[in-house]
Structure 1
Amino acid sequence: MALSNFTSGGSDDDSNPPGGHPPGLPTPGSPPGDTDVDILDELLVNYNEKFAKADPTMFRETLIEQVLSVLISKNKPNVLLKGSAGVGKTRIVEDIARRIELGDALIPDHLTSHTIYELPIANLIAGSSFVGSLEAKVKAVVDFAVDPKNKVILFIDEIHQITGGTSSHSDPIGRKISQMLKPALARGDMSVIGATTSTEVRAVDEDPAFARRFTPLIVDELTVEQTRTVLASVRPGLVAHYHHQIAVTDDVLADTVTIAEANSRAGQHRPDNAITLLDRAMADRVLEQKKLVVQAQNDGDTALAQILQNAGQVQLTKARVLDVAKRLMTGNAQRPDFDLETLRTTLRSRLQGQDDVLDQLTDHLAREDLELFPATTPTTWLLAGASGVGKTDTAKIIARQRTGSDPIILNMTEYHGSWSTSKIIGSPPGYLGSDSNQELPFDTLESNPHRVILLDEFEKADKAVQRLFLSAFDEGYIRNAHGKLLDFSKALIICTTNAARDSLSGHRIGFSPVRTPVPPPSLARALTGFFDPELLGRFSLIVGFNPIDADTYRLIMATAYARQREHIMAVKPRLASCLPTEIPDDELRALADRTYVDSQGARPAGKAVRTWIENRLLAQRAGVTVAAAMPPPEESETSPPG
């Protein structure tokens, strides 16, 4: 139905003399009949015409009936559809418009011949630089909608943008629009359908006078089975869109839903995530086929190019869908090929005396990499043990092997107050720093959610900070101060702790210097005094690192020497040739005896080895005997940890 059926045309004069009235708008105080139809055509979108031939909406019969029952009510015939992004709120309105246009038997007599018009907020704001032009546009829409002869139902998507909330982040333009709509809404002179997300509906609730004029209806997320059915219904349209170049089997459709579930960010929901993934995968396959044709032409193989062009439909594969899903998640930041045996070998070569612990960690990673179940929450580890046993090094090695980059490291000693949560999620609106554009530590998860996060010395963080991560462990996301979701569901979060180190350092057997590892039940009991039980219960794995004894310390020193000599060989091979392949056993034992400190674990080893290398090279340069190159006891024993 054209708007010209209801309103008369306006002036064709587009001039706008200085100080004159904006063109294309009714003059203030003019009757509704003088409204310029052109401006209404620019402001409103006729859903009846636009979606008359659209496919029916599936699994929404009950909700559509609820919407229709509100629209025919005598008082407040206004609906507020609220639900997570991507669940299909707008599709419900589109389907009602389709049914009205086609004369569906379900449509009540009160709504026959009605037209649903969308009012995009951007259309109201665009070109409203003149004083009063915005008000004139809103008045034109209201006058058109309240006229019973026009039989109008307004649809306002993202309706939270025009609420009149009093918070500091409320838009003054939105408040102005809502104030002009309230009288007509209160009298029941017009019907409005609004749509907003479950989180942004709070902006509507901030304006009680506006919110009470609507009946809220919740739009739930479709189930996995329902999403498969929806995907099958949209398949013909997608195939036709790509000129029947791509064929999609039922098995690939089912795989698409599963892959979308496993690779969607927090805030993406069914069925939109699966439909979007299928569409992108088909587009990617079309481009790939085009590239093959161009490559054949560039190579001068006209026969192959002709065969490829006349190949007809090509099959979309599960591998293609999975590849596209990964790229949608991470962009160009692809995780490198991950080899479990290489990781195990690297860990064992760098960390001595922890073979049983490392086997637990690599076994857990192997289970996670099977990807048997959708990843809705992150993998979370708590690595406990005394200082210097290798907890932080373990996290760094795993991060480089799995992601090709260093982990996101938060030194939790810097988050010692409850106010420190603002350093992680930002400051709430109205507080100091709320308008800052400074990058927060987890902003990089948006470009690559497959990251390793290291929360070092987790026990030193304030309880409020620890409990902030409870949501990430339990739900897979944290909501920042501005309502945006930080998706942790694909991350590996590694927390380290020195808590209860006296209990975690093991027990001596008689007078032996050897200590035994703490069994898991004792480990959990020892940590309970430092962490909330509900937080401990949400860790995927809690392991206690073995204490470093004197024998292990000597082995660590030997390994550190081999690694540092290899580094010197790469940068200064002449100096490396002056060093022995290994530290002589007697010197290694003497060096270990002088520098080993039970409470510091392996921390002094690196510095002691570096000092030994430097002293030996300096001594050779000065012609001094090698024995004189040993570091004095005072230097080794008083050296700071780390």
Structure 2
Amino acid sequence: DDQREEMTHAEILSILEGRKASLEEHHGVGLQTDVLERTVTMAARYLPKGALAERALSVLDLASARAKRTTERTLTARTVASVVSELSLVPEDRVLETDQARMLKLEALVAERLVGHEDAVSRISRVLRRNATGMCGNRPIGVFLLLGPTGVGKTETAKAVAECMFHSEHAMTRLDLSEYAEPHAVARLVGAPPGYIGHEAGGQLTSAVRKRPHQVILLDEIEKAHRDVLEAFLAVFDEGIMTDGRGVTVSFENTVIFLTSNLGADAGAQRSEARIGFGQRAESEDTGYASRVLESARAGLPPELWNRFDDVLVFPTLSRTAVTDITRKMVAKLGVRMRARQGIELSITEAAIQHVLDEGGFEPRYGARPVRRTLARLVEAELAE
């Protein structure tokens, strides 16, 4: 029920503890507090629909019944994970994986999806590993500002982190803040107050986080949002909370927040386009570009907002080498789709990949976006004939 305030994990754990004796008696299986805690966490992360207390109790009941059938004397986290896996269709080993184990692999997992931004991936991973230990209190696990031109991987970064940390690139709420340019748009974020039209619907952001507490929040083009809208996020970045239109406090402590901006993206763009684009850029060129973008973005955003970011990262234009790697990944995905749908084996030569780039796939100003369009024109359309 969207109108009901979601309970905290501690409150739900208390409910499970209260039902522990009756469940133990009914199933004849022992229930330990650490397994109850894991049950709440797994239900919150992998079963986003419905009230969390009901989800956790249902999982605990099903897992206890399964443990009884397999003659376990005490319920184990693996048995709980097997139930959650079946309900969520997430592999059991991934459900069972601890945050600490996943964090150690974070850099490598994100790098599998993201090409050409090794330094950014490393910096994001360091912050997330540090904050996931609880050092940031109730704040979000990370708040990052991503700067740079279109098509260089800012959105892909958010998707990669969502997939790595929350096991699906769809574990993400994306808001285009260019649609929040008026002061009254705050009501769309948190929901209208009682007595106003739209009160029953709830806020676009607060409702999404209440339903799925573990997720990535992507706020695009923040420079286009009204200042009142930006100020509504200060409590989120500081204390990990936002109060919705009904006066209910929503926790953001299990979210990772990415904000994107094109401020300063054209700084040095002419210089980038003057180069042919082959090979790697000089490190000094990237450093100079980053400095100009940072200076421009800092001047364009309120200082109280800037000071609350865990890190600010500049994504430079992609080199031809990086776009070549991205094209190979896109071709590999296309091959998987064609094999599954039509039974066709797709192989493409290096010369053909360079041809895709020469025929419109490589435009430094637009990053990797032209690749998809050019592949569709030169490869997919031909195969469809």
Give the alignment's TM-score, normalised by structure 1.
Answer: 0.45
C-alpha distance in 2 between matches for 1:614 and 1:568: 10
Residue 461 of structure 1 aligns with which residue? 225
Aligned-pair CA distance for 1:542: 1.3
Structure 2 residue aligned with 1:289, among 17, 21, 24?
24
Aligned-pair CA distance for 1:266: 10
Contact 2:264–2:292 (8 Å) recurs in 1 = no
Contact 2:110–2:121 (8 Å) recurs in 1 = yes
C-alpha distance in 2 between matches for 1:553 and 1:361: 22
Residue 483 of structure 1 aligns with which residue? 247
Residue type of the alignment partner of 2:15 = R
Residue 257 of structure 2 aligns with which residue? 493
C-alpha distance in 1 between matches for 2:245 and 2:17: 37
| Cα-to-partner distance string for 1:201-232 (whole Å, 9 max, x where unaligned) | xxxxxxxxxxxxxxxxxxxxxxxxxxxxxxxx
C-alpha distance in 2 between matches for 1:536 and 1:443: 26
Q: Does 1:423 align with 2:188?
A: yes
Residue 360 of structure 1 aligns with which residue? 123
Aligned-pair CA distance for 1:549: 1.8
| Cα-to-partner distance string for 1:221-250 (whole Å, 9 max, x where unaligned) | xxxxxxxxxxxxxxxxxxxxxxxxxxxxxx
Residues 329 and 507 of structure 1, relative CA distance in 2, 3 Å threshold: same
| Cα-to-partner distance string for 1:496-522 (whole Å, 9 max, x where unaligned) | 121110237696699674363347765
C-alpha distance in 2 between matches for 1:476 and 1:266: 15
Residue 471 of structure 1 aligns with which residue? 235
Structure 1 residue aligned with 2:322, among 543, 552, 555?
552
Secondary structure at 1:290's aligned position in 2? helix
| Cα-to-partner distance string for 1:454-511 (whole Å, 9 max, x where unaligned) | 1122222222211211221122222223322222222111111211102376966996
Residue 440 of structure 1 aligns with which residue? 204
Aligned-pair CA distance for 1:451: 1.8
Residues 506 and 517 of structure 1, relative CA distance in 2, 3 Å threshold: farther
Residues 510 and 404 of structure 1, relative CA distance in 2, 3 Å threshold: closer
Residue 312 of structure 2 aligns with which residue? 542
The structure with the largest helix share of the pair is 2
Residues 586 and 320 of structure 1, relative CA distance in 2, 3 Å threshold: closer
Secondary structure at 1:494's aligned position in 2? strand
Residue type of the alignment partner of 1:283 = G
Aligned-pair CA distance for 1:601: 0.6
Q: Does 1:570 align with 2:377?
A: no
C-alpha distance in 2 between matches for 1:522 and 1:535: 19
Residue 138 of structure 2 aligns with which residue? 375
Residues 284 and 327 of structure 1, relative CA distance in 2, 3 Å threshold: farther
What is the RMSD of the two structures over their aligned residues, measured on CA atoms? 3.4
Mapping of residues 133-532 of structure 1, within 5 Å: 279-280=14-15, 282-287=17-22, 289-290=24-25, 292-293=27-28, 317=33, 319-320=34-35, 322-323=37-38, 326=41, 331=52, 332=55, 336=95, 337=97, 339-340=102-103, 343-372=106-135, 374-377=137-140, 379-405=142-168, 406=170, 407-431=172-196, 433=197, 435-437=199-201, 440-503=204-267, 513=277, 514=281, 516-518=285-287, 522-532=292-302
Contact 2:127–2:310 (8 Å) recurs in 1 = no
Residues 606 and 536 of structure 1, relative CA distance in 2, 3 Å threshold: same
Structure 1 residue aligned with 2:373, among 590, 599, 607?
607
Secondary structure at 2:233's aligned position in 1? helix
Contact 1:408–1:451 (8 Å) recurs in 2 = yes
C-alpha distance in 1 between matches for 2:340 and 2:211: 35
Residue 243 of structure 1 aligns with which residue? none
| Cα-to-partner distance string for 1:18-63 (whole Å, 9 max, x where unaligned) | xxxxxxxxxxxxxxxxxxxxxxxxxxxxxxxxxxxxxxxxxxxxxx
Aligned-pair CA distance for 1:532: 0.5
Secondary structure at 2:267's aligned position in 1? helix
| Cα-to-partner distance string for 1:431-452 (whole Å, 9 max, x where unaligned) | 4x15443663321322332221
C-alpha distance in 1 between matches for 2:24 and 2:292: 60
Unaligned runs of 5+ in 2: 46-51, 57-83, 85-93
Residue 72 of structure 2 aligns with which residue? none
Instruction: Give the length in aligned residue pairs.
Output: 324
Secondary structure at 1:613's aligned position in 2? helix
C-alpha distance in 1 between matches for 2:275 and 2:12: 64
C-alpha distance in 1 between matches for 2:189 and 2:182: 12
Aligned-pair CA distance for 1:526: 2.3
Secondary structure at 2:296's aligned position in 1? helix
Secondary structure at 1:483's aligned position in 2? coil
Residues 531 and 266 of structure 1, relative CA distance in 2, 3 Å threshold: farther
Secondary structure at 1:610's aligned position in 2? helix
C-alpha distance in 2 between matches for 1:483 and 1:523: 39
C-alpha distance in 2 between matches for 1:510 and 1:597: 12
Residue type of the alignment partner of 1:476 = G
Residues 328 and 403 of structure 1, relative CA distance in 2, 3 Å threshold: closer
Structure 2 residue aligned with 1:588, among 337, 346, 353?
353
Residue type of the alignment partner of 1:408 = T
Secondary structure at 1:367's aligned position in 2? helix
C-alpha distance in 1 between matches for 2:15 and 2:241: 25
C-alpha distance in 1 between matches for 2:193 and 2:268: 39
Residues 285 and 353 of structure 1, relative CA distance in 2, 3 Å threshold: same
Bigger RCO of structures 1 and 2 (CA < 8 A, at least 6 apart): 2
Contact 1:409–1:453 (8 Å) recurs in 2 = yes
Secondary structure at 2:317's aligned position in 1? coil
- Higher-Rg structure is 1
C-alpha distance in 2 between matches for 1:392 and 1:564: 20
C-alpha distance in 1 between matches for 2:140 and 2:350: 49
C-alpha distance in 2 between matches for 1:422 and 1:613: 46
